[in-house]
Amino acid sequence: MKDILNISAYRFVALDDPDQWRGAILAQANAAGLRGTVLLAHEGINLFLAGNAQAVRGFLGWLAAQAPFAGIEAKESWSADVPFGRLLVKVKREIIRMNQPTVRPEQARAPAVGARTLARWLDRGSDDTGRPIVMLDTRNAFEVEHGRFRDGVHWDLQRFSDFPAALAERAAELQGKTVVSYCTGGIRCEKAALWMAEQGMDRVWQLDGGILKYFEDTGGTHFDGSCFVFDERTALGPTLAPVETM
């Protein structure tokens, strides 16, 4: 019976004192019996947590009631067991490391395309203006091996901080197209879309909610394989259930 609720969520928001939030979040998550990882930085929060469904939703409700995190939305999936060994709440320089201080997603969000709209674009092979689409994978190479959007582009990244250099070398292949950056849950593709816009590219979108939200809303059409996740489940299929991996 799959009665363990897993959530992933992030929110780019300016936090003056991430260390202060660390203590409060650790206390709440511990009290709820949750396990997983929460990352905090001056640019916001990123979390992956699992536990009893009522406890998870109670924690998320408490978090959303805190002013900086109001409106935070979580992607949900279910498992038979908690796929994390312990609870970690850490303060980092960035909640997703890019090493580009001019990229400030807590100040302005990149344009986002929803899963159902993207599926419609992929069905027709172009966006609503008739412009061809490129699905640009911003994940690491080992993640791409588990699954990817059909005919999408990936640059064999070893780490996300390699993305700016890869774009500088290969931006020409994206010219004249609508570029949709995508990743697991939305956080990397949001920063990637902002960086591309900063480099002067037009018609750049992020996939809102990443692959996990796309699976939830569309059943995974146009996506081949599974989505790697950073916990003991390893990879999720289009139904958001764990899949067997080699």
Active centre residues (catalytic): 183
Reading the block at residue 70, the tokens are 């109001």
Task: Please choose, from the candidates 15, 68, 16, 58, the residue with its C-alpha nearest in 3D space to the C-alpha of residue 33.
Answer: 58
Burial class from Cβ neighbours inside 10 Å (0-12, 13-18, 19+) for residue 52 reads: middle
Contacts of 38 (CB under 8 A, 6+ apart): 25, 26, 29, 45, 46, 47, 48, 49, 88, 89, 90
Strand 178-182 versus strand 204-207 pairing type: parallel
Task: Please choose, from the candidates 134, 206, 139, the residue with its C-alpha nearest in 3D space to the C-alpha of residue 172.
Answer: 134
